[in-house]
């Protein structure tokens, strides 16, 4: 599956689950084109990507806690089938968010490599 398809799949899964969540999924940072970006733009993007990754981790903690709270608030304990369904949905949310983190990290790393290649060519 290519990067664009993965991105669309992850986004669709997150958007489909969003109404049921009290947790806000962070906005993906803008990543500059490494072939044209300045060092300041790349540094700013690095900071933004690091903040985004931390925010995704906060989101994951939030959805895990929200699920625990929802189960605790139930008047009767969920049956085994309901617990499996809830765990499967939570796993899908975790997987989607972690895939998104990997995708954003790789997208940024590609632009860092492009920036370094540009800088190396300019130095030659």
Q: What is the pLDDT of residue 22?
A: 80
Q: What is the pLDDT of residue 72?
A: 87
Residue 67, both tokens = 């699920």
CB 52 within 8 A of CB 107: no
For 52-71, how does the pLDDT look when each residue is reduced to its tens digit (9 = 90+)?
A: 999 999 999 999 999 999 88
The pTM of this model reads 0.75
pLDDT of residue 60: 96
Cα–Cα distance measured from residue 124 to residue 116, given in angstroms and rounded to the nearest whole number: 12
In this prediction, residue 96 has a pLDDT band, given cuts at 50, 70 and 90, of: very high
- Give the model's pLDDT for residue 16: 46
Structure tokens at 27: 């906005």
The DSSP element (H or E) to which 58 belongs, if any, is helix 39-73
**Model pLDDT for residues 30-45, shown as the tens digit of each residue:** 999 999 999 999 999 9
């Amino acid at each position: 599956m290519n990067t664009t398809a993965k991105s669309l799949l992850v986004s669709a899964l997150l958007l489909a689950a969003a109404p049921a969540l009290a947790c806000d999924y962070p906005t993906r940072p803008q990543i500059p084109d490494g072939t044209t970006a300045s060092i300041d733009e790349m540094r700013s993007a690095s900071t933004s990507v690091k903040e985004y990754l931390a925010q995704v981790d906060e989101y994951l903690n939030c959805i895990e806690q929200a699920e625990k709270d929802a189960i605790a608030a139930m008047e009767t304990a969920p049956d085994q089938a309901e617990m499996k369904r809830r765990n499967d949905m939570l796993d899908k949310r975790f997987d989607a968010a972690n895939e998104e983190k990997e995708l954003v990290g790789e997208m940024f790393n590609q632009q860092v490599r492009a920036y370094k290649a540009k800088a190396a060519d300019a130095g030659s």
